[in-house]
Amino acid sequence: MTELLHADDAGIARAAALLRRGGLVAFGTETVYGLGADATNAQAVAAIFEAKGRPRFNPLICHYPDAGAAFAHVVANDWARRLADALWPGPLTLVLPRLADCPVALLTGAGLDTLAVRVPASATALGLLRGVGRPVAAPSANRSGRISPTEAAHVLAELEGRIEAVVDSGPCPVGVESTVLDLSGVEPVLLRPGGVTVEDIEALIGPGVRRGAPDGAMRSPGLLASHYAPELPVRMNAEAVQPDEALLAFGPPLSGTRPVFNLSESGSLTEAAVRLFAGLRWLDAEAARCGLTRIAAMPVPEHGLGLAINDRLRRAASPKISPALCVGQVGEERAG
């Protein structure tokens, strides 16, 4: 059963407690309702993808109660500080490089070296974020492929029984998602238009904000300054391991002595999702150290979170395709 909570002190305290223990709680922001989870808890974040029925791991936005908390986890530059001063709390999300000791789970950012951070302008959301005391990852609270919810009833219609609770703070005043601005490269790039206009942004940091492709086409990975660059090609559905390969195992591993990272010895897709990005990073480094040039990935079932895991592995199946491509789901994301 999904609890319907009032946006009063008791409801917010209850929601914060559920989030702190790894639960999923939808809450209203000024833009749309978000499906929240503790961003530092990969297990909870995996549950977001499960509840949404999302076939891929999109990087999620981390929500904070103030700029100080947000900028403790990312490298904030001058642009970021100026925009945060003027526009936070508000419908603007900033993509910035993660700090080395950033406690946010890799799964939250889909393995990227950058993190999207935002301070929502909603008393309920801010109260909840203060109560949780940790960043809250929250995509729009709809099933994958559906439009974003702007009322608690919309959330329940799609996610009733799949999440712990929804905090009803009434209809969302803005009604469209936050603007996503990438400040991690040499020039600011608008990744998703939203509640704050480019004109507002340029008035604060000067002209020269590059507009992402109007169709939401993918950003060229080469343009991203800080994406997770080195990555060996992955050979999927491996039934044996070649001499030049490290192994990404799922279930009982294929035999041979080589670097092996097991996503889940027991064959749990949730555990595999939690370990996927850390595993790819580890294998990359280990394989390079051992002079290997590829990663053989054992078959992962094509259902539930397995869809998103296989999507990510497919993207790694060619060395030219980078995880930065998952950033490009912007156009699709507006509808989903």
- Residue numbers at the binding site for ligand TXA (CB under 6 A): 29, 31-32, 34, 58-61, 91, 93, 95, 109, 112, 114-116, 120, 138-140, 177-178, 180, 182, 191-192, 327, 329-330, 333
**Angle CA 79–97–204, to nearest 5:** 10
Identify the sign of the CA torsion 93, 113, 109, 21.
negative
User: What is the DSSP pairing of strand 210-211 with strand 136-137?
Assistant: unpaired
Instruction: Provide, rounded to whole angstroms, the least separation between the CB of residue 329 and ligand TXA.
Output: 5
Which helix (DSSP H) or strand (DSSP E) does residue 86 occupy?
Answer: helix 78-87
Q: Are 248 and 279 in contact (CB under 8 A)?
A: yes
107 vs 247 by CB, closer to ligand TXA:
107
Does 140 bind Mg ion (CB under 5 A)? Our answer is yes
CB 334 within 8 A of CB 177: yes
Residue pair 183/96 in contact (Cβ under 8 Å)? The answer is yes
**Closer of 114 and 140 to Mg ion (Cβ):** 140
Among ligand TXA, Mg ion, none, the one that 129 touches (CB under a kind-dependent 5 to 8 A) is: none
Nearer to ligand TXA, 95 or 280 (CB): 95
Min. distance of Cβ 29 from Mg ion in angstroms? Answer: 12
From the list Mg ion, ligand TXA, none, which binds 60 (C-beta under 5 to 8 Å, kind-based)? ligand TXA
- What whole-number distance in Å separates Cα of residue 140 and Cα of residue 127? 19
Least gap, CB of 265 to Mg ion (angstroms): 33
Nearer to ligand TXA, 11 or 34 (CB): 34
The residues near 58 (Cβ < 8 Å, ≥ 6 apart) are 110, 139, 326, 329, 333
Whose Cβ is closer to Mg ion: residue 140's or residue 179's? 140
Classify residue 140 by its DSSP letter. Answer: B
Nearer to ligand TXA, 19 or 95 (CB): 95
Give me the helix-helix angle, 78-87 and 198-205, nearest 10°: 120
Region label for 206, one of left (φ > 0), alpha (ψ between -120 and 50) or beta (otherwise): left
User: Residue 146 CB, nearest distance to Mg ion (Å)?
Assistant: 9
> Measured from the CB atom, is 146 or 235 closer to Mg ion?
146
Least distance between ligand TXA and beta carbon 295 (Å): 23
Min dist CB 9 to ligand TXA, Å, is 22
What binding mask, one character per residue, do residues 93-132 give for Mg ion by CB under 5 A, x or -? ----------------------------------------
Compute the distance between CA of residue 3 and CA of residue 249 in angstroms, rounded to an integer: 38
58: contact with Mg ion by CB under 5 A: no
Q: Which residues in this chain contact Mg ion in the complex, by CB under 5 A?
A: 140
